[in-house]
Amino acid sequence: MAQEVMAFFDGRIVPLKDANVSIATHAFNYGTGVFEGLRGYWNADTEDLYVVQPAPHFARLKRSARVLHIDLPYSVEELVDVTRKLLRANQFREDVYIRPLAYKADAAIKVGLSGISSAFAMFALPMGDYVPTAGISVAVSSWRRIADNMIPSRAKVTGAYVNAALSSDQAKADGYDEAIMLGDDGQVSEASSSNLFMVRNGVLITPPVTSDILEGVTRQIVFDLAQEFGIPTDVRPIDRTELYSADELFLCGTGVQMAGVTQVDRRPVGTGKPGPITEKIQQEYFRLVRGRSPKFRDYVSAVYHD
C-alpha cells in the first residue's frame, strides 16, 4: 500500500486527509447521500487485485442517486475507470474495501432535495472479514426494517443506515454476531446490512425484492452460483419461525461476504454447523472473487493487468 492513502475528491485524486467537507454540508446534516460498497481481493499468484462486479455496483449507485435527485455526471464505465485509477494510485497489495459516495454538497440549512448541488467522492481502505465467515449467531431484532415508502429500501441512502446500526448494535450487545430484521408485515426482510438465504428440503429460498430488502449484487451472484450447481431456488416471503426450522441459513453481501449462520435466537440451525449447500456456494464464491473461477472470471475486474 502507498505510504499515504489517496482518495477521489472534487474530480481528482488527492490525499485522503485533504478530502474533507464542511460540517454545514447538507448530507452531513440530513443524511442526503447515497453510497456503494465494493471489495477488491488480492491474488498473490497473479499479483493482481480483483474488484468484484464493479459495473453492477455503480449501476445501482446511479439508481440510488436518481431517487434522491443527486446529480451523478459519470457513466458506469467512467466510475469503473476512476476506481481502477484510485486503487492503482494507492498501490494496494491486499484485500480492500471501496466506498463511493454521491451526496448533496451545499452548506445549506434546508430540508429538501431540489436546488441543492451534488458531489461525488470515493476512497478505499484495507479490509478483512467484516464478520466471521465460518459460522455466526444471529438474533431477530426488535427493530423493524424501514419500509420502502418511508425511506427507499432499494437505494443505499446514507441516513437510512441508522436503522441497520441500531439493530446491529442491539444484537452485538446481546452477545450475537448479527441481527435479522423483520418488515412491517412481520416477515423476514434481511440482516442489518446483508441479504439472507435459507435452505429447506434442498431448496435455496430468499425473500423477494418487495420485502424491503436491498437488491444485493452478491445476492444475484448466489443465484448464478446456484444455477451453475443445479440447486433449486425459490423467492418467496419467509416467516420468522421458518428460521428456527431451516436446514441451513447464510448471509451474503459485499461486507459480510458469505457467512454461514449456525444459531438463531439461541436455537441451532440444522446440525449447528454450516450446511453442504452453504459450504458449496461459499467455497466457489471465494474462488470467484480472487479471479480463480474460470467460469465466472468476467465477474471480477483486474486492477493492475488489463
Identify the DSSP state of 277. H
Strand locations in the chain (E): 6-9, 12-15, 33-35, 38-43, 48-52, 96-104, 118-126, 136-140, 178-182, 188-191, 195-200, 203-206, 233-235, 248-253, 257-264, 267-268, 300-302
Q: Which of 62, 85, 156, 172 is catalytic?
A: 156
Residue 7 CA: distances (Å) to CA of 14, 26, 53, 299: 5, 21, 20, 25
Task: Tell me if 216 sits within 8 A of 250, measured CB to CB.
Answer: no
141 Cβ partners below 8 Å, 6+ apart? 167, 170, 171, 179, 180, 181, 182, 192
Q: Which three cell numbers mark 172?
A: 452485538
244 Cβ partners below 8 Å, 6+ apart? 264, 265, 267
Concerning whether 295 is annotated as a catalytic residue, the answer is no
The catalytic site residues sit at 156
